[in-house]
Amino acid sequence: MWIAVDDTDSTSGMCTTYLVSELISEFSEYDVICYPRLIRLNPDVPWKTRGNAALAVRFGKGRGEPVACAMVNGKTRYCYAEGDDARGDESTLERAARIVESMSVLEDEKTNPGLAVFNSPPPDGYYWKAVREILTVEDAKRELDGCGALYRSFKNGRGLIGATGAAAWDETGDRTFEIIAYRQKTRWGTKRIVDDGCARDLDRICPSSFDNYDPRNGHNRITPNSPCPILYGIRGDDPKELAAGMQSMKSEPVDRWTLFISNQGTDDHLVEKDISEIRPGDSVIVRGTVAAVPKTIEGSHVFFELSDGDAVVDCAAYEPTKEFRDLIRKLRPGDVVSCYGCVREMPRTINLEKIRIESLVSVREKTANPRCEKCGRSMKSVGAGLGYRCRSCGEKADISQAAFCVVDRDIAPGFYEVPVCARRHLAMPLKRLGKI
């Protein structure tokens, strides 16, 4: 059986991932089958609290070699790659609902938990809709009823959308892992103690890990800034490396931890589209030609126009993307690029997560006006695009007769991404591109 939950947290506290360890403890009579799931859904839904993560855990009787997947109440819990599923019923739903109700921040107007128990998961087509589209509670309920799931909603029940998506995800495709360490309850809401040097060392200790530390901007990405129970989270492709990474950390005491399988860093949210097809809330890959020199506006945000021949859209590198903006400023009309990012409604803009420069135009810069062929004097411009004239004898010359040199563009074709400090949970880091 699968137990899935979403939307229990708020901007002022709690974290839905924490409930997985509570569920593992509550249903200790069962083994955990496969790793618990941490699934990020559409990052552009307007009602998300923080990272729009949904969770699911599968219970039953495990077969094969056990692998540590959590530590709860001082006891290590194990998961198994294969097993026979337990059967969920109304009592399962009631036991899980007590945990969800007691630990959700129900007083927050944006917190609307959903809980579901599945004896067979929904088809993965629902997951792809949940990570790329904006769904309704009614959409989720139709899916839940269709697969015979038991479910419980709190308040408007919007969490059912994510809970269903987490159960529908097919983990045999591209996937990553995250090990999350949690704080002692007495420390929740206080300043975290995590050694930045250890975070910097994770790239060396865990070669498959990503989004640990941003050295240029001095940003420790593994440690959140919210008052939630998380102490830190380490992400990567190899779960064994992540366990070693956790052991290397110097921090305040860890109360518990859980090792998740996840869709983070997979680009699952992105869809290739023409500019005319994009809608607000979409996350897209759009190929086109730079149509105007990038401009910097108040706030140090950088914009440029992208055309695919049929339509034009603005693309933006906002101030939080830091040095990525310097790259965008170097683009010139005629450059062919593919832009990756989410579509903002007003004004319609693609907020860049990364960019692929496919080809660069040759840019020439004038170094000198032409010289008059009759008297040898330097000619003067008649006006923009109108050519040149000698002031002494009146001889004329066109624009092409001026002296030009090819400008060093100082950029090259290839992928470029926003820095770690500005990266979204689902965005695939460039270091993963060769691994899928």
Say how far apart CA 334 and CA 292 lie, in whole Å. Answer: 8
Domains of the chain listed by start with CATH number: 2-262 (3.30.70.2200), 271-362+409-432 (2.40.50.1010), 364-406 (no CATH)
pTM of the predicted model as reported, rounded to 2 decimal places: 0.91
CB 271 within 8 A of CB 322: no
Say how far apart CA 236 and CA 178 lie, in whole Å. Answer: 6
CB neighbour list of residue 64: distance below 8 Å, 6 or more residues apart: 80, 81, 82
> Is it true that the peptide bond before 347 is cis, omega within 30 degrees of 0?
yes
User: 378-404: per-residue pLDDT in tens?
Assistant: 989 888 888 999 888 888 898 888 888
User: 186-218: per-residue pLDDT in tens?
Assistant: 999 999 999 999 999 999 999 999 999 999 999
CB 216 within 8 A of CB 324: no
User: 248-307: per-residue pLDDT in tens?
Assistant: 999 999 999 999 999 999 999 999 999 999 999 899 999 999 999 999 999 999 999 999
CB 117 within 8 A of CB 96: yes
Find where tokens 């050694």 sit: 195
Question: What would the two tokens of residue 305 be?
Answer: 């126009």
CB neighbour list of residue 267: distance below 8 Å, 6 or more residues apart: 340, 426, 427, 428
Per-residue pLDDT, averaged over 37-58, amounts to 88
CB 319 within 8 A of CB 274: no
Quote the strand ranges of 326-434, DSSP E: 336-344, 349-359, 364-368, 380-381, 388-389, 396-397, 403-406, 414-417
Q: How confident is the model at residue 50 (pLDDT cuts 50, 70, 90)?
A: low
Per-residue pLDDT, averaged over 140-163, amounts to 96
DSSP code of residue 281: T
Is the dihedral angle over the CA atoms 91, 93, 94, 99 positive or is it negative?
A: positive
**Which of 235, 169, 173, 180 lies closest to 424, judged by CA?**
235
